[in-house]
Structure 1
Amino acid sequence: MTTIEERTTPKAGYKVVGSRPIRHDGVDKVTGRAQYGADINLPGTLHGKILRSPHGHARIVSIDTSKAEALPDVKAVVTGADVPIVQDMMIDFGETMGNARLLAENCLAQEKTLYKGHAVAAVAALNPHVAEEALDLIEVEYEPLPVILNALDAMRDDAPLLHDAMTTRSIAERFTRGDDTGVHSNVASHLQFKRGDLDEGFAKADVVVEREFTTSTVHQGYIEPHTSTARWDPDGHVTIWTSTQGAFGIRGQAAAILGVPEGKVTVIPMEIGGGFGAKTYVHVDPVAALLSRKSGQPVKVTMSRTEVFEASGPTSATT
């Protein structure tokens, strides 16, 4: 019978092996001293809420925010029109590279909404109840467009385009922009790996198995939702307290979307309640910052569980 020996000191002859090191963050977490993103409460903090599209694909004909802005205790309302013009450039996404303009459009829709739950407008108010009430007063006229539900249909030549101006890029190496093919399609880029003679390999194989494989949309299901508190100071410096796995990546992304130098953005990463790779790029951080700039006060935006599933998560279904 094997017995388990508990050790609080290293095994003889070793400095670490056999010891039971104490987690540096363990005491703070079990005593409640640890601060997560939603625990930040700066003086004068407003509560931000986001209006999201009910359509899977639609053109935004008009947005009227006048009734929401007139509601008492509402301090700011922003839409895609408040987002600076973002350059079509590749930026750091933490574990990969991504397009800054498309990331900005994901934070607040511009001309179209591309999925159910796409952010259309946001409100900052003295309390979350007023903010929710203000969302109901925003009038959005949509023109519903055809919806594509799988990758094969999206790649067809006659498929409706999500990004009208996007053309496919042929990429020879990862983390490069690639060459513009000039072909308008839903395929953002094409990267092909080649090794050996495929036809010869099939011809020499003892057994050839052909199947169609599919994977479903996957979300990490982290316990803590996306949350961010932003303060835009009068001197133009932006400070963001957020739940993130990569503070420097978030800083670069936020700076690109907000149209400010990286040196004007400070990102303070809080304790994180799960991420698994999904908290390496921005969702609500730029929205909170834009609301703060417009209101002149700090603004906190926290996703609901429904918002997390509808508007975040990096893994789409494949075929």
Structure 2
Amino acid sequence: MIRTAIIGGAGYTAGELIRLLIHHPQVELTAIVSQSHAGQPVHVVHQDLVGNTQLSFVKNNDTEVDVTFLCLGHGKSQEYLAKNPIAKGKIIDLSNDFRLKKAAVFEDKTFIYGLPELQKEEIKKARYIANPGCFATTIQLALLPLAHAERIEHEVHVNAITGSTGAGQSLSPTSHFSWRNNNVSVYKAFNHQHLGEITESIKSLQPWFDESINFIPVRGNFTRGIMATAYTKISLNVDELKSLYEEYYEKSVFTYVSTQPIHLKQVVNTNKCLLHIEKHGPYALVTSMIDNLLKGASGQAIQNMNLLFGLEEDLGLKLKASIF
């Protein structure tokens, strides 16, 4: 059994990670650390876990584990590791602290970017993983086949809408029900923090790529999921595009190219990414959808854990969408 611990166990991402780990057939979840909830039963905070676990939050993890998941706020993982060195075992960090190449080396640790559809073999050999962001995952999976074929020749335009869980549990004016319900809004247009990791991944496949990725993020009035549409001028016809995508994802466990138009309920509560390809005049249009808490966070972290320990990639992740 793989012994695991979670640092920062109270948020949405940690809640999904706990749910996945306690049902994973090869995992023993030994500790869930939360400074603010230490001593409380986990199911008091994560109420969907009533009857599933008797674990309580602890203030510190004093047991040696095989893998530690860091579910801390952005900018907090480096701070935690500096104060609480983890000498043994593997680390999967779900913040943005180590995703960019300039930040991937921290003290004696080198973090590998954990997008399996981009660099599965490198992940298998790693010890430290930087789990990708949710918007970044959705958009990269829409663009990787084009970059792999070196066919991104013009600027890319992306519009993506995310559910309210993407903002985390901390209250803010835009996360209150009375503001979010029946409402949508644009935020961080053209300068969202996930653009850095997206661009680095594209350039790793197409080094000469020097065009803009124009990204407009949107807050949605639903709880879970991301829908992204990406379009760019390209000379390939629609059949050539579909073949290119199907070939790239032929061996992917979770990313599928759909022949039919897709919708968000097909991916919510799963670790899937669904893609749909169209051609409109000179433009290729790629629609990409994921569950932001699963393929965009905790599900992908489990996928990376499975790769790190030589397990089947989809072990513990055979989840069905709640489509009705």
Which TM-score bucket, shorter chain as reference? under 0.3
Question: What TM-score do you get using the length of structure 2 for normalisation?
Answer: 0.24
Q: Which structure has the greater CA radius of gyration?
A: 1
Q: Higher helix share goes to which structure?
A: 2
**Higher relative CO (CA 8 A, sep ≥ 6), structure 1 or 2?**
1
